[in-house]
């Protein structure tokens, strides 16, 4: 029974891999994206992003405001349901990495590790926001603590996102240049996105300015980079899946590399 990483022959190209259902999983991406964007816009703390310089009382007032409270809760519930929606897409990327001309499954394993880490960290932030909104009448300092935890986690927990990009780029760089599964520019793009995510890790250092969790680098650059990554990689992934599907439909002699 062949499974991931078992054979010591070059990994099978189009035609030998079981791919049923992959396009199904792939098309969950636009649905997930719509839900995410809606939840993002619904959350009053993102539009505009909450400032770290607010005092405890102001933060408590934010959570106690009857206009905000339902929006906070429902957007975060939505995020809790669908926060992990990117996992099938990331695993489809792992499947593409498996198609590349690597001698070992190291890159797929790394990618799987990242896939496990990213959504979990997001869920921690999500839970903290929900907690902050649960008993808004509590001591404002406590609400501020939850709020801080949520924002710091949401903003600074980029290690697995960065690693995803770097590993995907490395996997592409290590692929056979005459038969690339994913094009070279995808690798360069991922390196750029990884670089764009780095400043957000330093958000703890500043309560105002571009590094603060509502600032240009930590909020706007990071979230826009993630959004662009999802869109671009979505298109690239879709192309790869459908290209592979088309190749399988061709008679064997006409199948072209990559």
Partner 1 sequence: MNTLATRTASPLAWYARQNPKRELWLAWGTLVVFYIFFGVVFFVLTRTQPPPSPAWDSRKVVQWFQDNHSGILIGFAIMFVITGMTTMSNALIAYSMRRMSVSPAFGYTYLILYSLSAIPGMLLMCIALTVGALRPDRDPELITWTYDFAFLSFIGTMGVFLIGSLVWMLAILIDKNRVFPKWFGYLNLCNALTEIVVSPAWIFRRGVLAWNGQIAWWLNMVVFAIYTGVFIFLLRQLIQREDFGTGPLPNLAPKAAR
Q: According to the binding rule CB under 8 A, does residue 16 interact with partner 1?
A: no
Q: State the Rg of the chain over Cα.
A: 21
Under the binding rule (CB under 8 A), the answer on residue 249 touching partner 1 is no
Cβ(187)–Cβ(172) under 8 Å?
A: yes
The secondary structure of 141-188 as a DSSP string is HHHHHHHHHHHHHHHH--HHHHHHHHHHHHHHHTS-GGG-SS-HHHHH
The residue whose two tokens read 């290590």 is: 174
CB-based burial label for 177 (10 Å; 0-12, 13-18, 19+):
exposed
**Other CB atoms within 10 A of residue 222 CB:** 26
Among left, alpha and beta (phi > 0; psi -120 to 50; other), residue 182 is beta
- Binding of residue 119 to partner 1 (CB under 8 A): no
Is residue 126 within the footprint of partner 1 (CB under 8 A)? no
Binds partner 1 (CB under 8 A): choice among 61, 121, 221, 228: 121
Of 85-93, 98-106, 182-190, 228-236, which part binds partner 1 (CB under 8 A)?
A: 98-106
Give min distance, CB of 179 to partner 1, in A.
7
143 binds partner 1 (CB under 8 A): no
Q: Which residues make beta-bridge pairs with 46?
A: 49
Report in angstroms how near the CB of residue 74 gets to partner 1 at its nearest. 25
Is 58 one of the binding residues for partner 1 (CB under 8 A)? no
Binding footprint of partner 1, residue count (CB under 8 A) = 62
CA dist 166 and 161 (Å) reads 9
Report the largest interatomic distance among the alpha carbons of the chain, rounded to a whole angstrom: 72
Applying CB under 8 A, the span of 22-30, 86-94, 200-208, 224-232 interacting with partner 1 comes to 200-208
253 binds partner 1 (CB under 8 A): yes
Give whichever of 75 and 155 is closer to partner 1, judged by the CB atom.
155
Which CB sits closer to partner 1, 75 or 164?
Answer: 164
Span of 24-32, 58-66, 68-76, 112-120 interacting with partner 1 by CB under 8 A: 112-120
Does residue 166 belong to the site contacting partner 1 (CB under 8 A)? yes
Residue 109 CA neighbour count, 13 Å, CB half: 8
Site residues (vs partner 1, CB under 8 A): 3, 5-6, 8, 10, 13, 52, 101-107, 109-114, 116-117, 120-121, 124, 141-142, 144-145, 148-149, 152-153, 156-160, 162-164, 166-167, 170, 174, 176-179, 198, 201-205, 207, 252-257
């Amino acid at each position: 029974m062949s499974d991931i990483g078992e054979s010591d022959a070059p990994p099978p190209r189009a035609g030998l891999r079981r791919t049923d259902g992959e396009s199904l999983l792939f098309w969950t991406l636009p649905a997930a994206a719509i839900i995410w964007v809606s939840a993002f816009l619904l959350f009053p703390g993102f539009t505009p992003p909450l400032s770290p310089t607010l005092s405890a009382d102001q933060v408590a007032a934010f959570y106690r405001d009857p206009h905000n409270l339902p929006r906070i809760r429902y957007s975060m519930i939505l995020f809790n349901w669908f926060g992990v929606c990117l996992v099938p897409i990331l695993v489809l990327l792992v499947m593409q990495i498996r198609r590349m001309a690597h001698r070992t499954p190291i890159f797929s394993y790394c990618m799987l590790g990242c896939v496990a880490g990213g959504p979990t960290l997001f869920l921690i932030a999500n839970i903290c926001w929900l907690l902050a909104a649960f008993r808004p009448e509590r001591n404002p300092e406590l609400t501020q603590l939850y709020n801080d935890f949520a924002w710091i986690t949401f903003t600074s927990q980029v290690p697995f996102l960065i690693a995803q990009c770097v590993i995907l780029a490395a996997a592409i760089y290590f692929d056979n240049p005459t038969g690339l599964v994913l094009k070279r520019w995808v690798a360069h793009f991922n390196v750029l996105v990884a670089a764009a995510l780095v400043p957000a890790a330093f958000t703890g250092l500043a309560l105002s300015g571009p590094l603060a969790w509502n600032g240009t680098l930590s909020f706007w650059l990071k979230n826009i980079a993630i959004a662009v990554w999802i869109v671009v990689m979505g298109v690239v992934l879709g192309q790869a899946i459908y290209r592979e599907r088309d190749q399988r439909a061709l008679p064997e002699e006409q199948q072209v590399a990559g």
